[in-house]
Amino acid sequence: MKKIKLLCIMGLLFLVTGCNADYTLTIDQNLNFTEEIRVNEDSSYFTINGQNIDEYIKMQKKIYQNNEPYSLFDYKINKTQTTTGVTGIRKDMSLDTFANNSILYGSLFSSIQVTHENNQLKFTTLDYAEHFFEKSVIPLDPYYQRVTFTLKTPFKVIQSNADSMNADTGVYTWNFDKNTQPKNVEFVLDTRVSEKEQVLNIMEKFWYIPCIVLVLLIGIVKIMIIIRKNNKI
């Protein structure tokens, strides 16, 4: 049972071989955490297995309905000509909720650590599972060919061990496969909001104020025009 949990990756799983999985963690400017998982498998599996994707999703939801955090995700089907997959998303978690109940627990890593002190958010995974990409002696025991971990955030990343990054778009990516040496995901964010962002946040929050002012100005102008017309009479 412990081995199966370690092999599970980020959400609703396919009991098949050769899956690819993509995990995306989005941390917005309000320190809300959103997890998205995408697992894809060659569509031929469902033809061979005789089970359609809808039946499989229902089966998995029944299995995990009382098992957080799997039951807390919203799922949808992804289907192309060659692959069939499931995407699960869980939006707007607080830091504490994410830190204590992330889908990452018991998957490619045994645990995670997240702290937020002195305007710095520090994230690191613990205990990389080297056997994660190994085939099992059990015929339909899951294993993965490739897994990506992607971070998206507007905050400045002041430290990370990402394999690739784009500081302009705030996207950082870690890649894992059977040839990957044991490693963890590590990054540090500067969570201070710049003055420009503060102004934009205020404008977004109180967008209706300029509209009210504009309406008042138009009303004042109309009243002045009416007063002038009356004075000429």
- Residue 14 pLDDT exceeds 50: no
- Residue 169 pLDDT exceeds 60: yes
Q: What is the pLDDT of residue 183?
A: 87
The mean per-residue pLDDT over the stretch 11-17 comes to 40
CA–CA dist 118, 116 (Å, integer): 7
Residue 12 and residue 73 in contact, taking contact as beta carbons nearer than 8 Å: yes
The mean per-residue pLDDT over the stretch 25-37 comes to 94
Span of 43-52, 86-95, 172-181 with lowest mean pLDDT: 43-52
Token pair, residue 199, equals 């102004």
Token pair, residue 158, equals 């002041």
For 88-141, the pLDDT digits (tens) are 899 999 999 999 888 887 677 888 999 999 999 999 998 876 666 765 544 444
Q: What is the pLDDT of residue 121?
A: 97
**Better pLDDT: 66 or 22:** 22
Flag whether the pTM goes above 0.95. no
CA–CA dist 169, 65 (Å, integer): 36
Q: What is the pLDDT of residue 31?
A: 95
Residue 106 and residue 116 in contact, taking contact as beta carbons nearer than 8 Å: no
**Better pLDDT: 184 or 144:** 184
Q: What is the pLDDT of residue 68?
A: 65
Q: Is 192 helix (H, G, I), strand (E, B) or coil?
A: coil
For 218-229, the pLDDT digits (tens) are 888 888 887 777
Q: What is the pLDDT of residue 36?
A: 93
Q: What is the pLDDT of residue 96?
A: 94
**Better pLDDT: 168 or 173:** 173
Q: What is the pLDDT of residue 26?
A: 97
Q: What is the pLDDT of residue 48?
A: 59
Span of 6-20, 48-62, 166-180 with lowest mean pLDDT: 6-20
- Residue 64 pLDDT exceeds 70: no
CA–CA dist 141, 9 (Å, integer): 13
Q: What is the pLDDT of residue 120?
A: 96
Residues 6+ apart with CB under 8 A from 196: none
